[in-house]
A and B are shown apart, each in its own frame.
Chain A
Amino acid sequence: MLRDLLNSAYLALHYIPWVCNACVTLIAVPRNYDPALHPFEVPREYTRALNATKLERVFAKPFLSSLDGHRDGVNCMAKHPKSLSTVLSGACDGEVKIWNLTKRQCVRTIQAHEGFVRGMCARFCGTSFFTVGDDKTVKQWKMESPEYGEEEEPIHTILGKTVYTGIDHHWKEAVFATCGHQVDIWDEQRTSPMCSLTWGFDSISSVKFNPIETYLLGSCASDRNIVLYDMRKSTPLKKVILNMRTNTLCWNPMEAFVFTAANEDYNLYSFDMRFLESPMMVHMDHVSAVLDVDYSPTGKEFVSASFDKSIRIFPVDKGHSREVYHTKRMQHVITVKWTSDNKYILCGSDEMNIRLWKANASEKLGVLAPREKAAMNYNQKLKEKFQYHPKIRRIAQHRHLPKSIFCQIKEQRIMREARRRKELNRRKHSKPGSMPFVSERKKHIVAVVK
């Protein structure tokens, strides 16, 4: 047949005894998996896990770079929703800078406000961003830098009656919310708010839109409460009062009803908004007020910035942090962001720098060969498998801390222990049942107001 002929001809033409280099060097040897031939699997894997853990600690160099250029403390930051390499930051002197992370350079500087830039957020499409400042204004800016000869001017400026302390943009619509004396929800096209939500009179420090159920808002005020709002009905929903003031909160981007609040009492509280009576989890490790919190885009972890000059990474379901980052020169960290590709963490601190960290301290950056990747995965699994073994745990959990934090931790441990002992003694010497046991999670909640 002609077809066969053709085929054979084709083969004859194209047959080149091609042999790849890898095949020559790596001859596939059939392997015998008989367990008798490979004894001591547990001790061998244990040793591998130990080595992997040690290597992880050896390679744990999370600090990547520092972006300097601000002339005052960095007060707020915003991620670009579409571009991973762009980050915006606002300083205490009213200056806003736009950074290119790949170049690690500032690409644009705007004198946006007089006094602090209190808050900033990017529009969901990434074409513009909003800033609020101490000068009682809300300004909308273009993301692109102006043409040559063009003035650096905002697209819109809204003059308010009171100082705005925070701003957040809706995730899908042309709506943004500001907070100050009240929570205002604005249409982008109008100069007066669509609606103002109040519940009590106190300055509200931060407001955040829920990224999943986008009509939901959460805010925290300086009278120690966290208030939830529904934009559809323009009504507040519920208020929970904690022992101390909450500085800011952040919604979990993968779990619609979960948010985490960064509190002045050194703790973070993860709440399920349906059950505000007690938080889902109390995350404690910081030794000073927690100033900012941001979720990783996978929703499995979050990063918190604290007044104790460190940032910590917490798993959502764990009460303690898995990682702490600090440098000698980093002062009080005011703002922190987790980049949208889940790889990096940015933190802005008092001493005018923005620092770029790896989210996974020992991760190798860049392209990995498949074998390398397989080895990494295997090591990761081994570390997980043997994580409970004391020697491995000791190595895996070892972190260096600056002396101040270390001492404070020790001090606080002593204090906590003393408090616990006192309570225990009280309970022991009082009528049985008269001093009920209050769980750690309920301790910090003062009241829930309907």
Chain B
Amino acid sequence: MRSFGRPPVPCGLRWPGTPGHGRCRSGLSLWPSSVPGIALCRAPAWAGPGSVTVSAVCQGQEDGERRHQQLLEAVSSLSGRRRRKLAERTEASTQVSEFNVSCKGAGEKLVLSELLQPIRPKSALSTVKKELTKVKQKKAVELPLSKEEAERVVREAAYVRTSKDVGRWQQVVLQNRRAEQLVFPLKQEIATVVPLEQVVSAWKARTPLEQEIFGLLHKTKQPITDPLLTPEETASLQAMSLEEARQRRAELQKARVVQSYYEAKARREKKIKSKKYHRVLKKSKRRKALKEFELLHKSDPEAALAKLEELEQLRMQERMSLKHQNKGKWARSRAIMAKYDLEARKAMQEQLARNKELTQKVRVELPEEEPSDVPEEDLTSETVPTIPVGASGANPWMLGKPSGPAEELKVQEGLENVAVPDAVESKEEMEKDDDEEDMSEEEALLQDFMQKRQVRQQQARSLEEQGADETEAVPELPGDGPIHPISAEDQASVGIEQPPQAQEEILLSEQLGRVQTMDDVDALASEERVEEQEKLVVATAEKPVPARAEKRVQQQEEGRAGDKRAKKPAKKKIISLEAVLAGKPQQVQCPSLPVVVEEEEGGIDQRGVITEAFAGDDVVADFTREKRKAEEAAKPQPVNLVLPGWGEWGGTGLKPSARKIKRFLLKPPPAPPRKDQHLPHVIMSERRNIHAAAHQVSELPFPFERHQQFEQSIRTPVGATWNTQRAFQKLTTPRIITRSGHIIKPLSAEDVPDMATTAGTGAKPALEIVPQRPEPPLCRRRRRAR
């Protein structure tokens, strides 16, 4: 059979409704049945009734006719049409309907996609398939929008567009808001400068005079318009030969080169930082000058003299200029450095020496008048003994000298010249500095050191002297021998107390402690006397003020009385110790009678009057006391939270325990350092002044971020008193300028140059910026100003 040779059709019978394609529900493969020969012999006995085809074939064996027919059918079923028919027939379903496809078993639903699956390869069903897919894809038609909704959509779109259009002005608006100055109306007619030629060409000579002048000008070919050269001039310009021009140019070039070279050299030299180099340079210059001068002296004495005079002139100028007086910037910086740098110190000394040298001439002139000067000096010297020299720096009010410090200082100078010849120089400097009240602290310190050193040296010397030979020192000071060291010490105290303010403060404060009881003073004094020779410096530092003041007063009185000898014992009775300490120098230095005479002659001694008026009025001490008090008051006080009786026994006479006190006595943190800590002459109150506060700004105003900014803004003056005219005008220009009588029109695109272009295009804005919410101006940060 032909059909036997055919390979089995793999897609023979498939039940489309089943999930397992190509398999019958019984689980038996159906494809062998399509090949009857094989199917017959293979049919297993256990094949259930479900395998309809197989059983049908098997049963058909009995009836040959039926068999034949079946065979025919089977063969014919090999074609597609028949097969489906056959398959339908083999379906065991009882409910076959022509309208409906039903599937039996497991309650499964028919899915369209499954139905479609088998027909996929079939092109014949493609139309159906298409239709089916179409049906599947189509959605329900939406309802038309309601009127409100539609309007809303339109509105939203319009709003977005309009706000974008309006947003084009954002930049312009911001610019205007921030502008330093706005001038309205915005559209200004700019006064254009018309070129001269146009004006001239437009202008016509009308009056006869004008016509005449123009005629003249034209006749002589005078230029009226731009190139302001007559033809002759231009010709002459052209006449300059090329050669000449070239030469000239070359010369110029050379000169320029040379100049630049010299400039560069000078700059280079100026930049050299080496001090040594400069020193050497200076020296060489000086030497050169000297040599020249010598040469000149030899060759032309007159010229040399002239030169000398010139030099003298220079010297005088320098003297007048106060150039070497320790006041300059350089000198100050040196003074600071001097503490650490030996060289700087040397430089300073050099300068001072130079200064002295410059001022020397006056000294030179003095000796001629000396005879007349001497008594004067003597006269003035009478004040010296009355004042313990150590106090002079401490309290200027107590000195009682109306004529100013200069005389006094001179006298002191003289004094020291006698007593401490070594220290003269330094003292002179010191006094000069005392004169200059704005002496810097560093300077003072430096001088302090120097003085201390000198003092120490002197003390050592005096001690030696004392040890070796008392009588040697005595002759100068007629009086008790053992007192000599004290006088030296006194002088030492001069050295310490005079110049620096800082030390003065320390001294004064120490004085205050001692004022309270006389016994203390006495005890101290006796101690001092015992220890004097061991610690001289300390003793001088601790010398009690009241004693000294008293002594001073007494001395002054004594001076007025004139009879010193008579007073002396009385003085000694009152404060014997002090008299012993300070009395000697008086005796030494004011033996001269003229003093007394003069005073008597003068009748009213101003000094005396003042000292009398301010007797016992120690202003400086008062001030320090006051300051001390202020400092004490400003210190934060500990808070006492101790409650007696809590947690322990209470009652009269019972003190809370130390533990409790320790626990409940709250110590505040230490106060910040006072501002007047280093200012001995000043009390600075750090408490808020209510009267001033009424005028002060308490809150930091809005645009300012920090109080410094605000203070800066206030500090810069605006007025013409402090600013140049131009700056004043600039600073005071108003923010908005309007002209009276001019209509200010609303902003338009023509007013703004960069807007005009975008407005011209209309629909398309130049800047497509998403509008940013501007910073709300209401929310201002408020910060407290200090």
Among candidates A213, A298, A441, residue contacting B778 with C-beta atoms closer than 8 Å: A441
Cβ of B734 within 8 Å of any chain A Cβ, yes or no, is yes
Cβ of A202 within 8 Å of any chain B Cβ, yes or no, is no
CB-CB under 8 A from B748, the residues of chain A are 212
Q: How many Å lie between the Cα of A236 and that of B154 in the bound state? A: 9
Among candidates A171, A233, A298, residue contacting B182 with C-beta atoms closer than 8 Å: A298
Segment from B117-125, B166-174, B344-352, B465-473 that makes contact with A: B166-174
- The answer on a CB contact under 8 Å between B694 and A390 is yes
CB-CB under 8 A from B592, the residues of chain A are none
User: Binary interface profile of B, 156-188, with partner A (CB < 8 Å = 1, else 0)?
Assistant: 101100110111011001001000001010000
- Return A373 CB to nearest CB of chain B, in Å: 9
Interface residues of B in 694-718 (CB under 8 A from A): 694-699, 701, 710, 713-715, 717-718
- The answer on a CB contact under 8 Å between A381 and B166 is no
CB-CB under 8 A from B170, the residues of chain A are 257
- Return A12 CB to nearest CB of chain B, in Å: 15
Among candidates B695, B736, B743, residue contacting A300 with C-beta atoms closer than 8 Å: B736
Among candidates B714, B718, B736, B774, residue contacting A378 with C-beta atoms closer than 8 Å: B718
Cβ of B721 within 8 Å of any chain A Cβ, yes or no, is yes
Cβ of B238 within 8 Å of any chain A Cβ, yes or no, is no
- The answer on a CB contact under 8 Å between B723 and A33 is yes
- The answer on a CB contact under 8 Å between A274 and B163 is yes
Among candidates A256, A280, A382, A439, residue contacting B777 with C-beta atoms closer than 8 Å: A280
- Of all chain A residues, which has the CB nearest B731? A381
| Total contacts A-B at CB 8 Å | 176
Cβ of A192 within 8 Å of any chain B Cβ, yes or no, is no
- The answer on a CB contact under 8 Å between A317 and B719 is no
- The answer on a CB contact under 8 Å between A41 and B721 is yes
- Of all chain A residues, which has the CB nearest B698? A390
Q: How many Å lie between the Cα of A258 and that of B721 in the bound state? A: 43
Cβ of B744 within 8 Å of any chain A Cβ, yes or no, is yes
Interface residues of A in 308-340 (CB under 8 A from B): 317, 319, 340
Segment from A42-50, A59-67, A70-78, A141-149 that makes contact with B: A42-50
- Return A214 CB to nearest CB of chain B, in Å: 9
CB-CB under 8 A from B698, the residues of chain A are 390
Among candidates B696, B721, B742, B774, residue contacting A272 with C-beta atoms closer than 8 Å: B774
Among candidates A230, A274, A382, A388, residue contacting B718 with C-beta atoms closer than 8 Å: A382
Instruction: Evaluate whether A212 and B746 lie within 8 angstroms (CB atoms) in the complex, with A390-B697, A450-B156 already known.
Output: yes
CB-CB under 8 A from A81, the residues of chain B are 743
- Return A325 CB to nearest CB of chain B, in Å: 20
- The answer on a CB contact under 8 Å between B222 and A2 is yes
Cβ of B668 within 8 Å of any chain A Cβ, yes or no, is no
Q: How many Å lie between the Cα of A341 and that of B736 in the bound state? A: 12
- The answer on a CB contact under 8 Å between B695 and A237 is no
- The answer on a CB contact under 8 Å between B732 and A273 is no
Among candidates B694, B722, B744, residue contacting A33 with C-beta atoms closer than 8 Å: B722
- Return B170 CB to nearest CB of chain A, in Å: 8
- The answer on a CB contact under 8 Å between A340 and B719 is no
Cβ of B776 within 8 Å of any chain A Cβ, yes or no, is yes
Interface residues of B in 750-781 (CB under 8 A from A): 771, 773-774, 776-778
- Return B214 CB to nearest CB of chain A, in Å: 12
Cβ of A428 within 8 Å of any chain B Cβ, yes or no, is no
Among candidates A1, A45, A382, A391, residue contacting B694 with C-beta atoms closer than 8 Å: A391
- The answer on a CB contact under 8 Å between B738 and A254 is no
- Return A144 CB to nearest CB of chain B, in Å: 19
Cβ of A211 within 8 Å of any chain B Cβ, yes or no, is yes
Cβ of A421 within 8 Å of any chain B Cβ, yes or no, is no
- Return B345 CB to nearest CB of chain A, in Å: 32
Interface residues of A in 226-264 (CB under 8 A from B): 228, 230, 233, 235-238, 253-258
- The answer on a CB contact under 8 Å between B176 and A341 is no
Interface residues of A in 1-49 (CB under 8 A from B): 1-3, 6, 33, 35, 38, 41-42, 44-46, 48
CB-CB under 8 A from A297, the residues of chain B are 184, 743-746
Q: How many Å lie between the Cα of A187 and that of B742 in the bound state? A: 30
Cβ of B211 within 8 Å of any chain A Cβ, yes or no, is no
CB-CB under 8 A from A390, the residues of chain B are 694-698
Q: How many Å lie between the Cα of A96 and that of B155 in the bound state? A: 38
- Return A203 CB to nearest CB of chain B, in Å: 21
- The answer on a CB contact under 8 Å between A386 and B744 is no
CB-CB under 8 A from B151, the residues of chain A are 235
Among candidates B154, B159, B173, B738, residue contacting A256 with C-beta atoms closer than 8 Å: B173
- The answer on a CB contact under 8 Å between A212 and B169 is yes
Q: How many Å lie between the Cα of A274 and that of B695 in the bound state? A: 44
Cβ of A385 within 8 Å of any chain B Cβ, yes or no, is yes
CB-CB under 8 A from A45, the residues of chain B are 717-719
CB-CB under 8 A from B154, the residues of chain A are 233, 235
Among candidates A35, A298, A441, A450, residue contacting B722 with C-beta atoms closer than 8 Å: A35
Cβ of B230 within 8 Å of any chain A Cβ, yes or no, is yes
User: Binary interface profile of B, 438-470, with partner A (CB < 8 Å = 1, else 0)?
Assistant: 000000000000000000000000000000000
Among candidates B166, B715, B746, residue contacting A42 with C-beta atoms closer than 8 Å: B715
Instruction: Evaluate whether A48 and B719 lie within 8 angstroms (CB atoms) in the complex, with A275-B773, A441-B776, A450-B152 already known.
Output: yes
- Return B522 CB to nearest CB of chain A, in Å: 53
- The answer on a CB contact under 8 Å between B695 and A216 is no
CB-CB under 8 A from A378, the residues of chain B are 718-720, 728, 732
CB-CB under 8 A from A38, the residues of chain B are 721-722
- The answer on a CB contact under 8 Å between B222 and A389 is no
- The answer on a CB contact under 8 Å between A233 and B169 is no
- Return B649 CB to nearest CB of chain A, in Å: 46
- The answer on a CB contact under 8 Å between B155 and A255 is no
Instruction: Evaluate whether A257 and B169 lie within 8 angstroms (CB atoms) in the complex, with A297-B744, A381-B718 already known.
Output: yes
Among candidates B158, B166, B222, B710, residue contacting A257 with C-beta atoms closer than 8 Å: B166
- The answer on a CB contact under 8 Å between B158 and A233 is yes
CB-CB under 8 A from A419, the residues of chain B are none
User: Binary interface profile of B, 515-558, with partner A (CB < 8 Å = 1, else 0)?
Assistant: 00000000000000000000000000000000000000000000
Cβ of A125 within 8 Å of any chain B Cβ, yes or no, is no
Cβ of A105 within 8 Å of any chain B Cβ, yes or no, is no
Among candidates A341, A391, A440, residue contacting B743 with C-beta atoms closer than 8 Å: A341
Cβ of B234 within 8 Å of any chain A Cβ, yes or no, is no
- Of all chain B residues, which has the CB nearest A83? B743
Q: Which residues of B contact A (CB under 8 A)?
A: 151-152, 154-156, 158-159, 162-163, 165-167, 169-170, 173, 176, 182, 184, 213, 216, 220, 222, 230, 694-699, 701, 710, 713-715, 717-724, 728-729, 731-734, 736, 738-748, 771, 773-774, 776-778
- Give me 17 other A-B pairs in contact (C-beta within 8 A), A1-B230, A341-B741 excluded: A35-B722, A38-B722, A41-B722, A212-B746, A216-B166, A228-B162, A257-B167, A275-B771, A275-B773, A280-B776, A299-B176, A341-B744, A378-B732, A381-B731, A390-B696, A391-B694, A439-B778
Which 7 pairs show the lowest CB-CB distances between chains A and B?
A211-B746, A253-B746, A297-B744, A41-B717, A256-B169, A237-B159, A377-B732
Listed A/B pairs (16) with beta-carbon separation below 8 Å: A6-B216, A35-B722, A81-B743, A212-B746, A228-B162, A257-B169, A297-B743, A297-B744, A297-B746, A300-B736, A319-B778, A341-B741, A343-B738, A381-B731, A390-B696, A450-B152
